[in-house]
């Protein structure tokens, strides 16, 4: 790649539209990148809101139709920040036009659609990545380093939860901005594709592939008014999901997610227990990694709470001084930095579309198991 900068065209100016714009802007202030991103164009359907978004975040130009954005010769990267049902169409069109693609998670509505996306993106030979940003919380990246160093030894258990409480009211409609998550036609699934997909991506990264799952799901509120029609319609997403899993390395796992855990806003936690050591992490305290090492001298043994803010912790040398922590938005900055490094070096930053397809296969197996009450084997990429 001989270019020194790449022009980004973003689609969608909602929650992720803001986190990504922030990342594209900030990354050059903190990372010495071989290739820098340029906030060239933003796309959204509401002209006034789009204009305000462009002005606030510094996008140079605006388009109200993503197809026009993709046709533009001056755009190198299409960044997809739209609801799940539009990822495939936009990504495939972008790849066919020779654009690099950064796509929000989950990759697709299901594994079958994900396969088509992987086929098209690989046929086009363009750089691609999916925004499973929790891999790039420094404490989580540090956990990966500790596991890869073999510090935990054989892994016995993996435990993950992602708990929220924002859909408990039966008056909340389905469909529309933000609430598209409650509409299966736009979201594909409920907490499985929205929240557990994050937990699964991290788990596959930290602990390898999952062989089989046994799941249960529930939809607590059966009907909600749809924003588009004003009519009460059946709710077809899973409000809650819990599943057991067997990893191919022999470890056992439990995963749980719900939007009905009163008091929890975004409680993503994970714990891994190995023969020598255990680690635990909590999104509400995201700059800390809990670590217990059985090899410590007996009378000193205990859980260490590591403040992951030192210069030799992942990504932290790029930020402030040791002891000063960073937060959620920085994970997206890290992802942009790694993507740009990957494009320059020719080694793609993970997770690629192909990596993210593995998560879709786990989600498919979970939803199938919940339907038929049987253990399901997970298809592998």
Ligand X SMILES: NC(=O)c1ccc[n+]([C@@H]2O[C@H](COP(=O)([O-])OP(=O)(O)OC[C@H]3O[C@@H](n4cnc5c(N)ncnc54)[C@H](O)[C@@H]3O)[C@@H](O)[C@H]2O)c1
Q: Compose the 26-45 pattern: x for residues touching ligand X by CB under 6 A, - for all others.
A: -----------------xxx
Residue nearest to ligand X (CB): 14
**Least Cβ distance, residue 93 to ligand X (angstroms):** 12
**Least Cβ distance, residue 94 to ligand X (angstroms):** 13
205 binds ligand X (CB under 6 A): no
Residue with the two structure tokens 């992987």 = 118
- Applying CB under 6 A, the span of 173-181, 249-257, 260-268, 311-319 interacting with ligand X comes to 173-181
Enumerate residues 76-95 that contact ligand X by CB under 6 A.
Answer: 81-84, 86
250 binds ligand X (CB under 6 A): no
Taking CB under 6 A as the criterion, the residue among 5, 14, 62, 172 binding ligand X is: 14
Judged by beta carbon, residue 57 or residue 131, the one nearer ligand X is: 131
By C-alpha distance, which of 274, 266, 298, 300 is closest to 137?
266
Binding-site size, ligand X (CB under 6 A): 24
**Least Cβ distance, residue 86 to ligand X (angstroms):** 5
330 binds ligand X (CB under 6 A): no
188 binds ligand X (CB under 6 A): no
138 binds ligand X (CB under 6 A): no
CA distances from 366 to 10, 258, 374 (A): 32, 14, 10
Judged by beta carbon, residue 15 or residue 303, the one nearer ligand X is: 15
Neighbours of 218 (CB within 10 A): 13
117 binds ligand X (CB under 6 A): no
**Least Cβ distance, residue 82 to ligand X (angstroms):** 4
**Least Cβ distance, residue 286 to ligand X (angstroms):** 12
Q: Is the dihedral of CA 339, 341, 344, 346 positive or negative?
A: negative
Question: Which residues are near ligand X by CB under 6 A?
Answer: 11-17, 43-45, 66, 81-84, 86, 104-105, 131, 133, 177-178, 180, 194
């Amino acid at each position: 790649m001989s270019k020194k900068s790449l022009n980004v065209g973003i689609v969608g100016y909602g929650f992720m539209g803001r986190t990504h714009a922030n990342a594209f802007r900030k990354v050059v202030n903190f990372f010495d990148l071989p290739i820098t991103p340029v906030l060239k164009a933003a796309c959204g359907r509401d002209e006034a809101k789009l204009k305000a978004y462009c002005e606030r975040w510094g996008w140079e130009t605006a388009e109200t139709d993503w197809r026009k954005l993709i046709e533009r010769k001056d755009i190198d990267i299409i960044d997809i920040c739209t609801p799940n049902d539009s990822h495939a169409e936009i990504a495939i069109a972008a790849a066919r036009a020779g654009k690099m693609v950064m796509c929000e998670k989950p990759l697709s509505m299901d594994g079958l659609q994900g396969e088509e996306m992987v086929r098209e993106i690989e046929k086009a030979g363009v750089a691609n990545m999916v925004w499973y940003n929790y891999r790039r919380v420094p404490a989580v990246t540090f956990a990966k380093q500790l596991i890869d160093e073999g510090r935990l030894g054989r892994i016995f258990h993996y435990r993950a939860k992602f708990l929220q409480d924002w859909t408990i009211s039966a008056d909340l409609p389905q469909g529309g901005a933000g609430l598209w998550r409650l509409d299966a036609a736009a979201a594909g699934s409920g907490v499985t594709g929205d929240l557990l997909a994050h937990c699964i991506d991290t788990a596959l990264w930290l602990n390898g592939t999952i062989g089989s799952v046994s799941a249960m799901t529930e939809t607590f509120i059966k009907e909600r008014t749809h924003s588009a029609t004003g009519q009460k319609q059946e709710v077809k997403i899973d409000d809650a999901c819990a599943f057991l899993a067997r990893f191919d390395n022999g470890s056992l796992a439990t995963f749980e997610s719900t939007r009905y855990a009163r008091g929890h806003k975004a409680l993503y936690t994970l714990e891994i227990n190995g023969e020598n050591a255990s680690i635990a992490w909590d999104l509400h305290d995201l700059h800390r990694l809990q670590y217990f090492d059985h090899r410590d001298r007996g009378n000193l043994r205990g859980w260490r709470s590591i403040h992951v803010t030192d210069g030799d912790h992942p990504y932290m040398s790029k930020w402030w001084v040791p002891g000063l922590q960073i937060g959620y938005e920085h994970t997206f900055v890290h992802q942009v930095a790694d993507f740009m490094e990957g494009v320059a070096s020719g080694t793609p930053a993970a997770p690629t579309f192909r990596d993210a397809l593995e998560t879709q296969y786990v989600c498919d197996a979970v939803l199938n198991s919940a339907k038929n009450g049987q253990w399901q084997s997970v298809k592998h990429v």
